[in-house]
Structure 1
C-alpha cells in the first residue's frame, strides 16, 4: 500500500457545522450558474435541462464517493490526499497541483467578472483596480483566521440560496400564470427542444459539468471543522439534492419563460434576463447584486481552497517547504502565493489575452474531470481497504458499490470522447491532457527519487 498521508495538525479547527452546511450549498452556486449557463442555453436550447440533469447525476456520484473517503480520512488535501493513499504519491501530486492551478486561475476569473459588474455601475473606473481591491480584501480575510472565511461564506451562501429560492418561487408562479402582471407562456418556448441537434446538447452538457465545479471545497474545509467526520457526512448528504434542485429547477424555469435564442440570455445572464422578461421592477438589477456576491464568494472560496490544497501538498513533501508555513493556525504563505498567482492571471488577461491567457484557460478546461476520475479511482481502492481493515470508518457509503463507481467512470470517459469530437472543446482536452501528463511525470519522478533515498 502506498504511503499514508499524515493528518493535518497545524491548522486551527475554526469552522462550525453551520459554516460547512452553507459552504456545501453555496460554494457551487457561482458564476458558472448565474452567468456561464447562458452560453449553455444558447447552444442546447430547452434541452439544457437534460444536460444539467445528466451532469447533476454524475456530480452527485462523485460527491458521494468523495464524502465517503473524506469522512473516513479527513484532510485539508481532500481528494489529493486520498489519491496518494490509494494510488500513490504521483497521483496525489497530479490531483493536488492541477486543482491548485485551476483554483488560482479561478480567483482571477471571478475577480474580473466582479470588476466588470462594478464598472458597469460606475463608468470611468478601471477593472484592474477593482480586481486588486477585491484581492486585497479577501486575501486579508483569509490571512487572519479560518473562521473569517467561514463567516464570509456563510452569509454569501445564505444570500445566494435565498435569491435562487425566491427566483424559483417567482418562476413557478409565472409558469402557472398566477404571478400578477404576467401571462403563462405554456410550452411555447419548449417546442424547439433540440435546436442545434446533438452537438448543441453536447456543448450544453460540457458547460453544465464545469458549472458544478467547486463543491469539492466542503471536503477541504471539513478538516478545519470542530467535528470533521460528522461535518463532512452531514454536508454531503444534505447538499447534493438541494443543489440539483437549484440547478435543474432554475434551468427549467428559465427556458420555459424566456425564448432560448434571446440575446439577453447571454448578454445579461439568464437570471437577470428572466426577471427583466417578467417585468418585475428593479428585480434585474437586484439579481446583478446577487451575481456580484456569487462572484466574490467564489473568489473567497478559491483563495481558501487553493491555500489548503498547497499546504497539504507541502505537508506530504510534494511542494516547497516555504509554502507550508503556518501562523496562528493559517498557512499564510500559501494564501499570499495563491493570491499573487491569481492576480498574475488577471494581468495576463489584459496583457496577452489572445495567446498566453487563452492557453491558460484551455489548460484548465477539463481539469475538474481529471480530478473526478482520480476521485473515483481512489474510492474503488480505499473502499475495499476500509471494509477490510476499519469498517467503522464508513460513516458515508457510496451507493451500490462498486457498480455506480464504474458507471461514474464510464460517464467521465464519455465526456472526454464528446470533448474530442467538438472542435471548440478539443483544444481544451489536449491542453489539459498535456498539463496532466506533465504533472504526473514530475510526480512520478519525485516518487521514484524519494523511494531511493
Structure 2
C-alpha cells in the first residue's frame, strides 16, 4: 500500500512515486504591501508605454474599444484564477490547478510553455533596458548593459523572496505614480485648468475628428485587440507570489477584486488622455511615442527623458517579475515531478536556487542570440512564445470549469471568491479567447506568431501526454488551501 502523500510548504504533493520529493520549501517572505504593489504593477508592462502608439495608429480612437475588450477578458480570467487561488494558494498557480483538474499532461504543458514565455521575455526586456542605458552611457556597449541588468536582478532574486518583493515594490510604485500623475495632469489639460498648458486644441472633439471614432472601420478594433493583448500579460503573477505571502487568501482576494479599477485607470484612463490631448493621426504619436507626444503637447519639459526613466523602470520591473515567475513555475514543475528534482530544492532562505539559475541561463543565452542571431534563432524564440499568454488564459478557463466542481465537493467553504455567472461567463470568455487566437491566423502581422506558437505548444502537449501515459497511477498534485498547515496536509 502506497503511503499517503503530504503537502510541502509550497503546497504540492509529495511522497508518491513520480511525485516531488520533500524539500525545505518556499518561505512566506512577501509582505502584504509587496503583494499589493505586485498586483497593481503587474498590469502595467513596458508594452503600455512603448506599444500603445502602434495601436492608436491602426485603430484610431476605437483603440479604446480594443482595450475594453481585452481588459474585460483579463478581468474575467483573473476572476476565475482568483477563485482557485484564494481556495488553494500555490506557487504553480494555474499549472498546478490544471494538473489537478485536467490531468498531469495539462499542468506539465502549460507550466513549461509559461516558463518558456518568461525566459524569452527576459531577453526582450534586457535588450530594451540596454537600449535606454546605452543612450545615457554610450561608453558601455548595449550587450554589456543587457548582461549587467540581468546579472543584478539575478543576484536580487537569489538573495531572498523579500529582496524580489522589495525591488518590485519600488519598481511598481514608480510606474503607478507615473501613470497616475499622467492621467491627472492630462485631464487637467483637457479641461483647460492646467497652469501653463499650451495645448488649446485639447478636448473630447479629438475622439470624433479626423475620420470619426472609427476612422479605419470596425475591423480595426480586432486589429487593435491583437496589438494590445500582449501588454496585459503579467496580471496573473500575483497568484504565483501569493504562496510566499503572509496571508495568501487575503492577498489573492484583494488583487482579484481590484483588477477592474486597475485596468480602467492605468490602461483606459491613460489612453483616453492621449486621445483627447492629440488627434489620433498626429505624426508625433508614432515618432515620439504616445505618452511623450501627449506630454510635449501640453508643454511638459524634458518629456522624452522623463518617459525614458519610467520605461526603464517598467522594463526592470518586468525583468524582475519575469525571473521570479519563471523560477517559481520551474520550482512547481520540479515539485510535481515534471522537471528535474533539483528545481524543487531550496536554500535555507527558501530560495529555489537551481530553478532561478536554470531560468536565467536560458535568458542569458537568449540575450546572446538577440545580438548574434537576431533574424533567425531569436526571432524563432520570440514568435514561438508570442501567443502563450492566450493559451494560458484559455487553459485557466477550462481548469476553472472543472475546479469549481472539485472545490464544491471537497471544500465548499473555500469558495470565498467566485466567478460571476458561472459557467456561462466562463464559456463566453473561453470563446472570446479562442476567437482572438483564430483571428490571428487571418492577420498577416500575427500569422507567423500564432503558427509557431501552436507548433511549439503541440510539441510540448505531445511530450506531456506521452509522460502522462508512461506515468499512470501518479495522482495529480493537490494544492494546499490557505487555512491548512502546509507541512502536514493529507490528501
CA offset digits 1:338-386 (Å, max 9, x no partner): 1111121111111111122111111111110000010000000111121
User: What residue in structure 2 maps to residue 142 of structure 1?
Assistant: 157
For 2:484, the equivalent position in structure 1 comes to none
Task: Say if 1:52 and 1:248, in contact at 8 Å, map to a contact too.
Answer: yes
1:39 equivalenced with 2:54 (yes/no): yes
Alpha-carbon distance in structure 2 between the residues aligned to 1:196 and 1:384 = 45
- Within the candidate set 430, 441, 444, 2:462 is matched to 441
The yes-or-no answer on 1:172 pairing with 2:192 is no
- Residue 282 in structure 1 maps to residue 302 in structure 2: yes
In 2: Cα distance, 1:101 partner to 1:402 partner: 30
CA distance in structure 1 between the partners assigned to 2:143 and 2:130 by the alignment? 7
The corresponding residue for 2:284 is 264
Going from structure 1 to structure 2, the CA distance change for 1:261 and 1:348 (only over 3 Å counts) comes to farther
Give the Å deviation of 1:452: 6.7
Deviations along 1:406-444, whole A, 9 cap, x unmatched? 110111111122212111111111111111111110001
Alpha-carbon spacing, 1:385–1:117, altered in 2? closer, same or farther (3 Å): same
TM-score by length of structure 1 reads: 0.96
Identify, as 1 or 2, the structure richer in helix: 1
- CA distance in structure 2 between the aligned counterparts of 1:194 and 1:371, rounded to whole angstroms: 31
Q: In 2, are the aligned partners of 1:115 and 1:130 still within 8 Å (CA)?
A: yes
Do residues 154 (structure 1) and 166 (structure 2) align? no
Larger Rg: 2
CA apart distance, 1:40: 1.3
Task: Report matched runs for 1:242-253 at 5 Å.
Answer: 242-253=262-273
Q: Does 1:337 align with 2:358?
A: yes
Contact kept in structure 2, 1:67 and 1:236, CA below 8 Å: yes
Q: Secondary structure at the match of 1:101?
A: helix
Match of 2:449 in 1: 428
Number of aligned residues? 451
| C-alpha displacement of 1:5 | 9.6
Does residue 359 (structure 1) correspond to residue 389 (structure 2)? The answer is no
Distance 1:230 1:188, change over 3 A: closer
Q: Show CA shifts across 1:31-73 (max 9, x none).
A: 1111112221121111111100110001000000000001111
CA drift at 1:199: 4.2
**Displacement after TM superposition at 1:253 (Å):** 0.8
**The residue matched to 1:28 in structure 2 has which SS?**
coil
Q: Find runs of 4+ consecutive structure 1 residues off by over 6 angstroms.
A: none
CA distance in structure 1 between the aligned counterparts of 2:333 and 2:391, rounded to whole angstroms = 18
Change over 3 Å in CA distance of 1:117–1:319 after alignment to 2: same
> What's the CA shift for 1:123?
2.8
User: In structure 2, how many angstroms separate the alpha carbons of the residues matched to 1:302 and 1:132?
Assistant: 15
1:152-206 CA distance string (max 9 Å, x none):
1111111111111100001111111222333142344322333333443222111
CA-based RMSD of the aligned residues comes to 1.7
Shift in CA distance, 305/172, structure 1 to aligned 2, threshold 3 Å: same
Partner of 2:138: 123
The whole-number CA distance in structure 1 between the counterparts of 2:96 and 2:371 is 36
How far apart, in 1, do the equivalents of 2:331 and 2:162 lie? 18
Question: Distance between the aligned counterparts of 1:259 and 1:348, measured in 2?
Answer: 39
Q: Secondary structure at the match of 1:260?
A: coil
Select which of 86, 103, 109 maps to 1:88: 103
1:236 positional shift: 1.7
Secondary structure of the corresponding residue to residue 401 of structure 1: coil
* Structure 1 unaligned regions, length at least 5: none
